[in-house]
Amino acid sequence: MFAAALLMSACWSLGPAAAQQVTGTPGSPGATTSIGGQQLPPPDPKFGGVIKNDALTSKPWWAPRVVPPKDAPNVLLIITDDAGFGVPSTFGGVIPTPTMDRIANEGLRYNRVFSTALCSPTRAALITGRNHHSAGFGVISEQSTGFPGYNSIIARDKATIGRILLDNGYATSWFGKDHNTPAFAASQVGPFDQWPTGMGFEYFYGFVGGDANQWQPNLFRNTTQIFPFEGKPPGTWNLVTGMADDAIDYMNRMHQIQPSKPLFIKYAPGATHAPHHPTKEWVDKISKMKLFDEGWNKLRETIFENQKKLGVIPKDAKLPPWPKEVLKEWDTLSADEKKLFIRQVEIFAAYAAYNDHEIGRVIQAFEDMGRLDNTLIIYINGDNGTSAEGGPMGTPNEVAFFNGLNALPVDVQMKFYDVWGTEQTYNHMSAGWSWAFDTPFPWFKQNASQLGGINQNMVVSWPARIKDKGSLREQFVHVIDVVPTILEAAGIRAPDTVDGIKQAPIEGTSFAYTFDAKNAKVASRHKTQYFEMMGQWALYNDGWFLSTKVNRAPWEAFGAANPDPLNNQVLQLYDLKTDFNQTTDLAAKNPQKVKELKDMFVAEAKKHQVFPLDASVAARIVAPRPNITAGRTEFVYTRPMTGLPQGDSPLLLNTSYTITADIEVPSGGAEGMILTSGGRFAGYGFYLKQGKPVFLWNLVDLERVRWEGPDVLTPGRHTLEFDFKYDGLGAGTLAFNSFSGVGRPGTGTLKVDGKAVQTVAMPRTLPMILQWDESFDIGSDTLTGVNDADYRPPFPLTAKLNRLTIKVDRPTLSAEDIKKLESAQATAVDGSR
């Protein structure tokens, strides 16, 4: 008793949440303590030993090692990507997800789990316990704008669950997708405070952007790029297995070194976000099951009936009508369309099943270590509803969608039929399947006002605590509720200050109360929640749901945006207590309730940094950001360099530019990459092929525009230049809600030693992005190449590069241009001129 009291007086102060727990002899190397947790990191304790003039008469004293409270569980937090309510078999889907089934049977199913409708925002809310706008992620990082709710920066007053658990003695790690590092802070120049390792996750193995080629990902271990797939035959290494392998290795290393230290793992696979990249083994398994031959209308009916049988939706729920105004019914399709669409969905389903299997291996590793009993597993299906960003036709290349090509004809897509899902495609399925996979709800990912975009499902197990196995929970849960739930389960309080910075309040509500059978039917403690994404918004309040009517399908991203998304909307009202899946609009009968809830939304929006509302989508992709290229017009490089991400590299879209390379060709001739950005699915390259200079634009793998010198370069010094004159007004028109300045024509000229050798006019250019999981490389080419017919990476440059210069001449709007754009904008707003 005396020893414990002495240690407590010398150590950190107790918090109100729990009494401090001390083990070992005070001052000894083996002593441990939990902490109050108000202040992180905890202040250093006062030295408790004795110091004399000599060591023999002095008494050493060691500060106790910080550990979590006794019996704090391991935590495995799993979130999959772009998967709606009807995807997993656990909730009535036809895709087998035995791992999710296992956790549901050993724990609990939740059918009212809500996301934000988009990737980065949901993930920011998930790791901070704050709403997505509060955490700076009103949209994905690639669309960030200069407003507090939209800048893609998680402020220091919103410490993540990783940081809180780390300072309380957990081993913390993050595997898979990191979509919470600003696109303008993703290069090797840093800063790294917004990378996982800078936000409290000691170990990171994954990719930084919104998606990744699963065969050749832009992959990092901590902050160093790695290439574990190099040297392996195509189709044999896949990130879905690679990250499971790495997680299992990490878990076992931690366990062997210190088995008493609890683990916190955020496990965020890229599946089932595009590109859908399963292994052939899983494609064959799913194809043999013939799950989709009857089409998406029948699939939706099957899932709906399965859901009723499982009891995860009410038996009196009504299936909303098929949206004929946006998507064709299956029976109206041609034979080729059906063949193509079945191939698309089988690849998607194989990806989902494959992912669930690999998650199962990670869970099995906990059991093999003997630690599963005290492991809290939270397995969330989807960070939003199923994606419809492939459009009604699907696409072999998702990058095409982000550049406005969202309706590739069937005959074009059929050329990719046999390689669909392999390294030759960046594929996405038809939105018809996406609607079916969001059953029983309407709409998709991006649609924050519709349950198909935001109503996820989840399974939770914790054998040591949850005894009501196999049961259903129907309380309202939002992703912001996960952080307070984990903290309650671990007996750890939310800190008041972190690194001396006062912390903003946690905005979520713990759902740990639902773990107990006695609370199975109690009312939800989370009463009110706002939703907003790209101008579509909603407000939930104790069963009532006010929502904006959908005025833009997710694939319609390139038109003029709604200029007044707060008021220029059709409002709908639903009673989710009696209308589970948003089928009966009560707005006309309850105008006062509509007004009350709209006022409540405005109040929530003001509180959580939602204003200013912005309904633009694609326009925000090229919005100005404070990256390392901002304000620069000239870039000079004197040595090879690889791995600079798109968000931190010179942007050559919608502008004139000149690229000049000063090289020396050795006596035996030269070849290789001088400069490239992007890859197989969109980008450009400046290289030597068999001694001849080539500049090539890859227009989303559908067309390649090429310039080539007629002669092999002789040994010695040469100046190669590619000069491009852009004919449009540039991205400045987007500020006026106009796409008229982007993707316009231009003319390129290739010069050798000052002499023009080829001039080619481009009738169209890429308006928005290159392949964003690829990088800007000098002297070689990482990951995929821009033209497989010419070379295969890394294609190192065998000439000496003396100097590479890029000069950018961005269009500026004249006073007359601005006047015309303002006039057109005013006409669009009021429609009267």
Res. 2 pLDDT band, cuts 50 70 90: very low
**pLDDT value, residue 830:** 53
**pLDDT value, residue 19:** 76
H or E segment and range at residue 3: helix 2-10
Instruction: Tell me the pLDDT tens digit for each residue of 797-827.
Output: 999 999 999 999 999 999 999 999 988 877 6
Tell me which residue of 99, 156, 158, 157 sits closest to 125, measured CA to CA: 158
**pLDDT value, residue 829:** 54
**pLDDT value, residue 77:** 98
Mean pLDDT in residue range 310-324: 97
The answer to whether 166 and 66 are in contact (CB under 8 A) is no
DSSP 355-384: HHHHHHHHHHHHHHTT-STTEEEEEEE-SS
Mean pLDDT in residue range 538-558: 96
Q: How long is the chain? A: 833
Question: CB within 8 A of 607, min separation 6: which ones?
Answer: none
Q: Which residues are bridge partners to 459 per DSSP?
A: 109, 379
Predicted TM-score (pTM) of the model is: 0.96
H or E segment and range at residue 171: strand 171-177
Helix residue ranges, H only, 280-334: 280-289, 296-310
Residue 7 pLDDT more than 50? no
Q: How many Cβ atoms from other residues are within 10 Å of residue 814's Cβ? A: 10
Mean pLDDT in residue range 702-729: 98
Instruction: Tell me the pLDDT tens digit for each residue of 198-232.
Output: 999 999 999 999 999 999 999 999 999 999 999 99
**pLDDT value, residue 5:** 35
Res. 414 pLDDT band, cuts 50 70 90: very high
Instruction: Tell me the pLDDT tens digit for each residue of 587-626.
Output: 999 999 999 999 999 999 999 999 999 999 988 988 888 8
Measured CA to CA in angstroms, residue 652 lies from 82, 453, 649, 725, 810 at distances of 30, 34, 9, 11, 9
Kindly compute the dihedral angle of the four CA atoms of residues 382, 384, 390, 395, in this order, to the nearest 10 degrees.
-20
The answer to whether 66 and 168 are in contact (CB under 8 A) is yes
**Per-residue DSSP letter, 295:** -
Residue 559 pLDDT more than 90? no
Instruction: Tell me the pLDDT tens digit for each residue of 113-158.
Output: 999 999 999 999 999 999 999 999 999 999 999 999 999 999 999 9
Instruction: Tell me the pLDDT tens digit for each residue of 430-461.
Output: 999 999 999 999 999 999 999 999 999 999 99
Alpha carbon distance 544, 669 (integer Å)? 73
Return mean pLDDT, the chain.
95
Instruction: Tell me the pLDDT tens digit for each residue of 656-693.
Output: 999 999 999 999 999 999 999 999 999 999 999 999 99
Alpha carbon distance 654, 741 (integer Å)? 7
